[in-house]
Amino acid sequence: MIRVCLTLFLCLLALPASTAEYGRWSHVLQEQTYLGLGSINDLAGVHLEIANPVGSVYVLLGGHVRGLDIDRWEDGREMGFAAGFRLFSASNGLESSWYVTGFGGTLDVERRREDGRRIGYQRLGLGGGLGYQHVMPRGRIGFSLGVARLESVDTADGERIDREFLPMVETTLGLRF
């Protein structure tokens, strides 16, 4: 079920770019693109963000740090992704401000020891949070705290991993180009 919700969430992120209304309003909103490093819990990697005064969309591609010593990946792999959006307070997204964020992706890795080997289960999730961004002339730093709901996973030994909610910490550092 959560895979369906995540697919719908990512389609909604792409929807404004495919409508005629977006083309009509894009010349009014000043957009800035940032490329840098980011992390969401143990997922760390390259962070790309497109921001305007109202909000921003971003994608994070990287690897799970906790997955480095796993011998075999039963579900998923060591590479992961996260995508999300931010809505800025008082429509000042190109300045330092508070924001509300929503995100989804491969947010956690469940590590198990089965038959003497370390096995990893990559878990998809959807979440949200509250954050603050500090904007400088050539970059931005962001930090947010939130919570995510993860999908359930059935392990190879017949056990079901069902974690309801996971606290999330997101940090980003981007340079404008």
pLDDT at 110: 76
Q: Which of 44, 151, 133 is nearest to 86 (CA)?
A: 133
Tokens of 165: 């909610």
Tokens of 110: 């469940």
Alpha helices in 27-97 (DSSP H): none
The one-digit pLDDT tens for each residue of the chain (177 residues) are 555 555 555 555 555 444 444 444 444 567 889 999 999 988 999 999 998 888 899 999 998 887 777 777 776 678 889 999 999 987 677 788 899 999 999 888 877 777 777 777 788 899 999 999 999 989 999 999 999 998 887 777 777 777 778 899 999 999 988
pLDDT at 10: 56
Confirm if 40 and 170 have CB atoms less than 8 A apart: yes
Confirm if 129 and 165 have CB atoms less than 8 A apart: no
What is the spatial distance between Cα 47 and Cα 33, in angstroms, rounded to a whole number?
11
pLDDT at 162: 78
pLDDT at 3: 59
pLDDT at 20: 40
Extents of the domains making up the chain? 1-16+33-87+122-149
Backbone angles phi, psi at 93, to 5 degrees: -70, -15
Tokens of 124: 């998809």
Half-sphere exposure for 92 (CA within 13 Å, toward CB)? 10
